Homo-oligomer: A and B are copies of this chain.
């Protein structure tokens, strides 16, 4: 089948953090993802993982991410062992360590998708497990499959990963997706960034330093329309109310400053795209949805293809 990896990707044992992937691996993975998008129901490829079990072990709920992984396994004919509330998993409640839970679950499953509330949990799980582990988000830590699907979306929509101008908009301080994307895009040549964020949620200095170190150009801007007219990718994010706690006045002051609406779309180039990790509130108006450059629902579907590709690669099929 087209897309069988031949280089470093074929030795991949786990998917724990975005930094595991270099440019070559990403491109190889995306070729596999392209092939996954072509898998037809009833075809031999759609039974590729038949007889393999995937456990989705979620210690905090994330129905969207869980369904995306389960959809990926379903599309390839594998078995799905699902738990929405591993936090109440009776063994954990009885004091079992994460390592013991993992070593038990790998008795039933050939691959484990872990969502956990504490940073580093996925690494601990991978160290304990003989089966592959995929990190589906570990608290303030990593969420590498989101970074992969974002990068794949750029590749799939624009046909390249080099020579790109990318505008990141919204909550850049807390938004894990934009931070991960910025970091992952440092693998590619001639990428530059614009950061557009309210003052209280500006992009963190650590990412700026990482970009500086790698010689990646970036600038901060308050001019959404101006940036929109320049970029290949406009990545909008939600101001995350839950991060503001009691400071609801600050939240209200932030949201609505930078909205992607018809006027922004009019300013954008014809060949540019709008991305968003979803869910969105009103930071992209629904009038934008019908614009062919609105890529955010395609981006969600790309999560399916990237996760299918990861399952295939990690299970060595």
Contact = CB atoms under 8 A, between A and B. Distances in A.
A46 B39 contact: no
Oligomeric state, in copies: 3
B96 A278 contact: yes
Interface in A276-290: 278-281
A89 interface: yes
Interface in A62-94: 62-64, 66-68, 70-75, 77-86, 88-91, 94
Contacts of A118: none
A53 interface: yes
B41 A46 contact: no
Interface string A24-45: 0000000000000001111100
A300 B71 contact: no
Given A67-B109, A107-B303, A108-B67, A83 B84 contact: yes
Contact of A75 (B66, B79, B89): B79
A95 B297 CA distance: 17
B51 A77 contact: yes
A280 B51 contact: no
Nearest to A282: B95
Contacts of A109: 67, 71
Interface centre among A52, A108, A242 (most CB of B within 10 A): A108
Interface string A255-296: 000000000000000000000001111000000000000000
Contacts of A10: none
A61 interface: yes
8 contacts: A42-B47, A61-B88, A68-B108, A70-B81, A82-B82, A96-B280, A96-B281, A103-B297
Given A91-B278, A103-B300, 4 more contacts: A62-B90, A64-B104, A67-B105, A108-B304
